[in-house]
Amino acid sequence: MRKVISVVNQKGGVGKTTTVMNLAAALAVDARVLMIDIDPQGNSSSGLGVNKFQVKYTLYDVLTDNIDIEDAILKAEGESVDIIAGDYNLAGLDIEFINLPNKDQILKNKMKSILKYYDYCLIDCSPGVNILNINALNASDFILIPMQCEYYALEGLTQVMRTFRLVKENTNKNLSIIGILFTMYDCRTNLSNAVISEVEGYFKNIPFETKINRSIKLCEAPSYGLSCIKYAVSSKGAQQYLALAEEVKERIKMFENA
């Protein structure tokens, strides 16, 4: 089954981490979910309650052959999601990997042995293009693209689509776009609605029907080390991510049957 989803956008601050944390928690309501944090900022790890300074092993140790990937899997307190944490050491891998053959396939090769334990695996990417993000795309079946409903977001989207095509044509023919997710949506602004019409017009059925509104609960939840699904399940943000999880499941089925 196709189950690995990278949440990507080269643009920073568009809601990648918020989406990974909450979609992971929403899917974990009735499935086995692994979240891999490949961002040196480690935001999704700390957001789901992993204390960076108490973690013995992170993804860095896995990718640099210090430990087996099984030994880097953490159980989040208060969440049903398993986590492989990211930390600042990951920032050096562009240099450390420079002379390695297959340096863009390391994550994929490491993940092979643990995929059988999970129904879904979500990868939180960092902004920009770097060797880790390319590793994530090569290890994935799908990309999910969160985008903020603002003017510059359209440029960001063009860049993501370019990277997607390059990876699909060259190193991962299996890669598909599971959807574009509008985040921090404010239906009262003309700009939000204009950006959405433009993207929906151009990309037809790719945007998800579910949109994520601006929500203070989504911002607060990580400071408690929780997803919004655990922190405030009845909030609009949590309910929208639960709806997104249903759409994601349906789309995966659609791809499987295609």
| Interface positions with Mg ion (CB under 5 A) | 16-17, 43
194 binds ligand ATP (CB under 6 A): no
**Closer CB to Mg ion, residue 43 or residue 215?**
43
215 binds ligand ATP (CB under 6 A): yes
58 binds ligand ATP (CB under 6 A): no
> How many positions of this chain bind ligand ATP (CB under 6 A)?
20
- Options 76-84, 131-139, 214-222, 247-255: segment touching ligand ATP (CB under 6 A): 214-222
From candidates 5, 8, 43, 252, binder to ligand ATP by CB under 6 A = 43
187 binds ligand ATP (CB under 6 A): no
Q: In what order do the strands lie in the sheet with 176-183?
A: 73-75, 82-84, 33-37, 120-124, 4-7, 142-148, 176-183
Binding pattern for the stretch 2-41 against ligand ATP, x by CB under 6 A and - elsewhere: ----------xxxxxxx--------------------x-x
**Closer CB to Mg ion, residue 6 or residue 43?**
43
User: Which of the choices Mg ion, ligand ATP, none does residue 212 contact, using the CB cut-off of 5 to 8 A by kind?
Assistant: ligand ATP
**Closer CB to Mg ion, residue 3 or residue 11?**
11
Q: Is the dihedral of CA 189, 192, 193, 198 positive or negative?
A: positive
- Evaluate whether 45 touches 162 at the Cβ level (below 8 Å): no
Burial class (CB in 10 A: 0-12, 13-18, 19+), 51: exposed
Q: How far is the CB of 122 from Mg ion (least distance, A)?
A: 12
192, amino acid identity: S
**Closer CB to ligand ATP, residue 17 or residue 227?**
17
147 binds ligand ATP (CB under 6 A): no
Q: How far is the CB of 41 from Mg ion (least distance, A)?
A: 6
Residue 158, C-beta contacts closer than 8 angstroms, at least 6 positions apart: none
For Mg ion, which residue has the nearest CB? Answer: 17
CA distances from 75 to 41, 79, 83, 166, 188 (A): 20, 8, 6, 35, 40
**Closer CB to ligand ATP, residue 43 or residue 172?**
43
Q: How far is the CB of 184 from ligand ATP (least distance, A)?
A: 5
Q: Which two tokens stand for residue 81?
A: 């999601």
Chain contacts with ligand ATP (rule: CB under 6 A): 12-18, 39, 41, 43, 126-127, 183-184, 212, 214-215, 218-219, 237
